[in-house]
Amino acid sequence: MSLSQAALAVMRINLLVVSLASAYNIRLYAVQNYGRVIHEFDPWFNYRAAEYLAEHGTERFFKWFDHTVWYPLGRPVGTTIYPGMQFAAVWIWRILEFLQQEMSLHDVCVFIPAWFGVASTVFVGLWTFECTRCVDSAVCAMLVVSILPAHLMRSVAGGFDNECMAITFMNATFYFWCRSLRNDNSWPWALLAGFSYFCMVATWGGYVYVVNIIACHAACLMLRRHSSRIHRSYSLFFLLGTLLAVQVPVVGWTPLRSLEQVAPLLQFVAVQIFEVLSTWQQRLPAKEFQLLRFRVFAVCGAVAALLGAMLFQLGYFAPLSSRVRGLFVKHRTGNPLVDSVAEHQATSPRAYWQFFHHMCTMAPLGFLISLFEMSEARNFLLLYAGITYYFSSKMNRLLLLLGPTAAALGGIALAKTLRWALHQLTQPEEAPVPATQNEEKPKHKGHKELQKAKAEGLTVVLKEIYDEFKGPLWEAYHEARWQRKASAVLMLLTFMICGMEFMNYCWAVAERLSQASIIVKRRNKEGQEILMDDYRESYWWLRDHTPEDTRIMAWWDYGYQINGLTNRTTLADGNTWNHEHIALIGRCLTGPERQAHEVIRHLADYVLIWAGDYGDDIAKSSHMARIAASVYEDVCPGDPLCVRRLWPLIIAPNVIAKGMIMGGSKFHRNRQTGEPSEMMSRSLLWKLYAHDPMGEVQTDGALFEEAYTSQYGLVRIFKVLNISDESKAWAADPNNWKCDAPGSWHCQGQYPPALSKVLEKQKAFQQLEDFNQQKDEKAEEYHKAYMQKVKERSL
């Protein structure tokens, strides 16, 4: 090894260490600024479930029916949770305990996102190396992904959310899948790909995307040039991954019944057919084999179509979920509950720059470079990048999936351009290629190059154009010696400046992403930075000043935090499994005060609202009204969006009446004046929000009593007066629960009989994509009106 090679190896090792250290330290801003705190909403449920697993063990965990959530119905947590995070956290905690490293389960959950962020960085580097066979590209990819905001957004310390582990397992799956395609003897690596896929299945519902991407890649390889390696790798991956996946209770037989996973199943069948046909290809003449292949495909296609039609009629297949359907429609999903979540909205161009910065330019360059250096593994990188970019434009949340491939492609571009620039400055000048050498190449070599181009996926036309311009371009390139050196110097300076800018930007964004939503950092009038701990203090007040059987009504966003920090019963949370139940809460909060009290007194002891200017409930209230209107027709009649809108009365074409008619209900707050509309001013939510004993707006003292207002006014808690003890006792009686079998642990609660009148007004919300249910005319009319209103507002 020469001195320069040794120096290069040392530099690579140093950069690897820097990338790993950066991946860990950049995720610790939350711990440094707020302490060891679990923040956001879902992480509190994940931590509470991990606590339950550690205390009660695996068997009771999977038979856990929690009656302190989704009151009075409850939730079978053990069969509706992706349990991978909880098991990983408990195992890590016990290993540390065995090694006599004192750390609480809470602290383990706080640091897991940072630990797995480091592991994810490693797998991105391995994946990039497998696709490029270039160490420099892998090192550059690790440097980028270690601090890339798109990769940080769900993996900062304290954010104990599903994605912080799932993305690591996703990158591991991709690496092992690509590794299994390296040569004819590498297919056993698909076993590790299948196991990594199972780990992701157990952790996050996004596993559906991963298995479809791999199936799509296998199909492309199979159609281009089938080989036994592809057959063995995909078969091992699919069989092991599916066999393990169906063991996860929340998944069950979904891989074999969901429309979202039909493609991987069909690809498994197709690869078996191709493998059988490949054994006959060498035994039969070409014409006979073509005829045999046509017949086999025709018969298999007919059988698949007939079988699929029968299974559709029997309701075997589960429909597409609203979130998946939202990736293919222009104007939202038709489900106001799904549409109310900000991360389900379409991604703006600004968001790409915010989360990728200079990778917005480097990743496309890496994509173009990869087009001219094709391989089976690199094909996967390009396919994944193209598909994920499309879907990430449809949903904000999917920017997370684009992060690893953007880093990989950016690393390829960085490594390639840096090596070129350094080569221009350090290597002696290459001898020019004589023009005659290009003209007098033997024909058989041109044919060989053409065959190689075909194998690499380049079309004949592109190859001919390349050969046509190759000689003149090379001569021009060789003659521009000093221009190349100047360009190299300029490129290195640009990379140095942009690199520092990128690094500083990523660290600044990381600090913003690490802001704990449960603790607000603001500046007071004197300019001093203060921590507003209103949310936790409010939850602690409930814990310390209310009985253990207290029921808290709040919007579903806060359910996980309330349940985790107060250990009190909540009515809804981020699981959002029951649309009608959330609509009932929305009806209570957006309905008139007295009418709302008639329902709340049977369900809750306290009502909690967010009242500050930091994501308060008034800002979310239009969504509450829309969700309520999707189930109750008397909420915002004729206007599924519950927005203030003037509709012109058209008398004749191009003629508009002087008067205007109001269309639909008006649940809104004037952004300029801050005044509520008439409907909002009468709502319970507004009365609780604006309640002032000395002001104009007050709650009815016979119905609600102010119990607690936080220091900075971000949270208000009101006690429900004249609650129904009879309904509370009825809902708590196990004899009134509905069990799926005698003596079963799966026993769902029921609404108290006193709510029968309001429940009779419900109409079950139907998903547009749910073809297994008989369509209701009113549901069809609602969806048509909803989508029309959304379309009009977007124009």
List, for residues 261-272, the tens digit of each pLDDT value.
999 999 999 999
Is the pLDDT at 513 greater than 80, yes or no? yes
**pLDDT tens, position by position, 670-708:** 878 888 888 899 999 999 999 998 888 999 999 999 999
**pLDDT tens, position by position, 412-458:** 999 999 998 888 887 666 555 544 444 444 444 444 454 444 445 44
Contact 392, 399 (CB under 8 A): yes
Is the pLDDT at 651 greater than 70, yes or no? no
Most confident of 302-311, 313-322, 594-603: 594-603
Taking the mean position of all CA atoms in its chain, how far away is CA 300? 36
**pLDDT tens, position by position, 43-90:** 999 999 999 999 999 999 999 999 999 999 999 998 999 999 999 999
Antiparallel, parallel or unpaired: β 551-553 and 569-570:
parallel
Peptide bond between residue 72 and the one before it cis (omega within 30 degrees of 0)? yes
Of 661 and 317, the one with more pLDDT: 317
> Could you give the CA distance from residue 103 to residue 31 in angstroms, rounded to a whole number?
15
Query: What is the predicted pLDDT for the residue at 74?
Result: 95
* Band of residue 128 on the pLDDT scale cut at 50, 70, 90: very high
Stated as kind and residue range, the H or E segment containing 709 is strand 704-709
> Could you give the CA distance from residue 600 to residue 598 in angstroms, rounded to a whole number?
6
Query: What is the predicted pLDDT for the residue at 711?
Result: 92
**pLDDT tens, position by position, 367-399:** 999 998 888 899 999 999 999 999 998 888 889
* Band of residue 767 on the pLDDT scale cut at 50, 70, 90: low
* Band of residue 6 on the pLDDT scale cut at 50, 70, 90: confident
Is the pLDDT at 737 greater than 80, yes or no? yes
**pLDDT tens, position by position, 252-303:** 998 988 888 999 999 999 999 888 888 776 777 777 767 777 788 788 888 8
Percentage with pLDDT > 90 across the chain: 59
Query: What is the predicted pLDDT for the residue at 642?
Result: 83
If one counts every other C-beta atom within 10 angstroms of the C-beta of residue 95, the result is 11
Question: φ, ψ for residue 603 (rounded to 5)?
Answer: -125, -30
Most confident of 90-99, 304-313, 442-451, 481-490: 90-99
> Could you give the CA distance from residue 756 to residue 38 in angstroms, rounded to a whole number?
39
If one counts every other C-beta atom within 10 angstroms of the C-beta of residue 583, the result is 24
Query: What is the predicted pLDDT for the residue at 565?
Result: 94
Query: What is the predicted pLDDT for the residue at 174?
Result: 97
> Could you give the CA distance from residue 194 to residue 197 in angstroms, rounded to a whole number?
5
Residues with Cβ within 8 Å of 329's Cβ and at least 6 positions away in sequence, in order, are: none
Q: Which amino acid is at 154?
A: R
**pLDDT tens, position by position, 537-587:** 999 999 999 999 999 999 998 999 999 999 999 999 998 889 999 999 999
Give the DSSP letter of residue 125.
Answer: H
> Could you give the CA distance from residue 261 to residue 224 in angstroms, rounded to a whole number?
23
User: What is the chain's mean pLDDT, rounded?
Assistant: 86
Query: What is the predicted pLDDT for the residue at 314?
Result: 76
Tally of residues, the chain: 795
Contact 380, 217 (CB under 8 A): yes
Instruction: Provide the H-helix boundaries in 149-285.
Output: 149-152, 162-179, 189-201, 207-225, 228-245, 254-257, 262-281
Question: φ, ψ for residue 718 (rounded to 5)?
Answer: -120, 140
Contact 151, 22 (CB under 8 A): no
Percentage with pLDDT > 70 across the chain: 86
Query: What is the predicted pLDDT for the residue at 613?
Result: 67
Using the structure block, give the residue that is written with the tokens 């000093």.
482
- Among 382, 449, 450, 455, residue whose Cα is nearest residue 225: 455
Question: φ, ψ for residue 660 (rounded to 5)?
Answer: -125, 145
Is the pLDDT at 659 greater than 50, yes or no? no
* Band of residue 146 on the pLDDT scale cut at 50, 70, 90: very high
* Band of residue 343 on the pLDDT scale cut at 50, 70, 90: confident
Query: What is the predicted pLDDT for the residue at 530?
Result: 87
239-260 burial, b for 16+ CB within 10 Å, e for fewer?
ebbbebbbebebbeebbebbeb
Q: Which amino acid is at 336?
A: P
Stated as kind and residue range, the H or E segment containing 655 is strand 655-662
3-state secondary structure of 741: coil
3-state secondary structure of 645: coil
What is the gyration radius of the CA atoms in the chain, in angstroms?
30
Query: What is the predicted pLDDT for the residue at 777?
Result: 73
